[in-house]
């Protein structure tokens, strides 16, 4: 958490608020968050200073998303890549006075003073990261998206592509979808929800799925993601929209977070099992 729908909603919110704004000042309280990806990174004062020096004075010209990554693009060609991981948040305030004495809270680690407002990056677990790249070539050399599959709402994500991505894969379908190589942006919530909608048990090997099942899963992924984006995402744990409001798709969850409750389709008791290190909930009766 957050997954593709939550990040896409943040992208859309940022697009409305920060495009055309100039970064006037940056405060970094946890240098670790701008020092590199991965959980074993070490805080670098040098990288923090480079981050501040390189982005101060830059104007945001575009907001993109790739899988669960936010991409800030600047008029100069510079790039800021943000991955929220488990608990990262962006909060924007139009009228928030810029002062280190008035932060959003103790988990506010990076503050951007913009020409018309303030953007706060909060992260309770501090697994997230914000990385600076001087240009597109530097981003390409770092290759943060090299193992990520097709965007599920893009034109290239076709039934034929999805069938090829699953073909001959000897791993279970839940682990494969979580791994990002077959399709980008799915995490624990929407993988469970899509598999339930397609009536597929998450322990099934990907290569065991019949063509009709693959098509059903393909359709379920697209349908659920579109509806989730429309409803602002699932505000479980710490996720909030840019204005701190909550998405409402959590009310639509059929299996996620409902272990031990009755299946809304057949009435059987939903069960929970660890798959690929994640708690997975499914119906043992109607998911085959």
What are the catalytic residues? Answer: 2-3, 68, 278
User: What is the token pair recorded at 227?
Assistant: 């509806």
Question: Would you call 129 helix, strand, or coil by DSSP?
Answer: strand
List the structure tokens of 217.
């899963």
Tell me the C-alpha distance between 71 and 136, whole Å. 11
Give the integer Cα–Cα distance in Å for 209 and 195.
12
Residue written as tokens 């990261």?
129
Which residue spans within 100-237 are E strands per DSSP? 108-114, 118-123, 129-133
Token duo for residue 15: 């697009």
Cα(68)–Cα(43) distance, rounded to whole angstroms? 23
Q: Kindly report the length of the chain.
A: 288
**What does DSSP assign to residue 183?**
B
Whole-number Cα distances in Å, 27 to 55, 90, 100, 242, 278: 12, 15, 8, 19, 35
Q: Find, among 94, 116, 87, 283, the residue nearest to 200 by Cα.
A: 283
């Amino acid at each position: 958490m957050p997954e593709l729908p939550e990040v896409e909603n943040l992208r859309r919110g940022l697009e409305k608020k920060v495009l055309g704004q100039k970064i006037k000042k940056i405060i970094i309280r946890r240098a670790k968050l701008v020092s590199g990806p991965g959980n074993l990174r070490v805080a670098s004062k040098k990288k923090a200073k480079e981050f501040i020096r390189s982005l101060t004075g830059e104007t945001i010209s575009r907001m993109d998303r790739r899988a669960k990554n936010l991409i800030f693009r600047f008029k100069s060609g510079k790039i800021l890549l943000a991955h929220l991981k488990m608990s990262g948040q962006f909060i924007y305030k139009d009228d928030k006075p810029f002062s280190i004495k008035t932060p959003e809270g103790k988990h506010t680690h990076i503050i951007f003073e913009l020409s018309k407002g303030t953007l706060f990056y909060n992260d309770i677990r501090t697994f997230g990261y914000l990385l600076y790249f001087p240009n597109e070539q530097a981003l390409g050399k770092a290759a943060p998206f090299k193992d990520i599959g097709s965007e599920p709402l893009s034109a290239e994500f076709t039934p034929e592509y999805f069938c090829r991505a699953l073909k001959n894969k000897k791993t279970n379908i839940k682990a494969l979808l979580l791994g990002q190589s077959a399709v980008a942006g799915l995490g624990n919530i929407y993988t469970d929800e899509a598999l339930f909608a397609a009536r597929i048990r998450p322990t099934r090997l990907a290569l065991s799925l019949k063509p009709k099942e693959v098509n059903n899963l393909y359709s379920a992924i697209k349908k659920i993601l579109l509806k989730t984006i429309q409803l602002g995402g699932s505000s479980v744990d710490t996720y909030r929209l840019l204005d701190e409001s909550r998405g409402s798709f959590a009310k639509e969850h059929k299996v996620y977070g409902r272990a031990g409750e009755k299946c809304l389709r057949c009435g059987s008791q939903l069960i929970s099992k660890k798959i690929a290190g994640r708690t997975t909930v499914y119906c043992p009766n109607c998911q085959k």
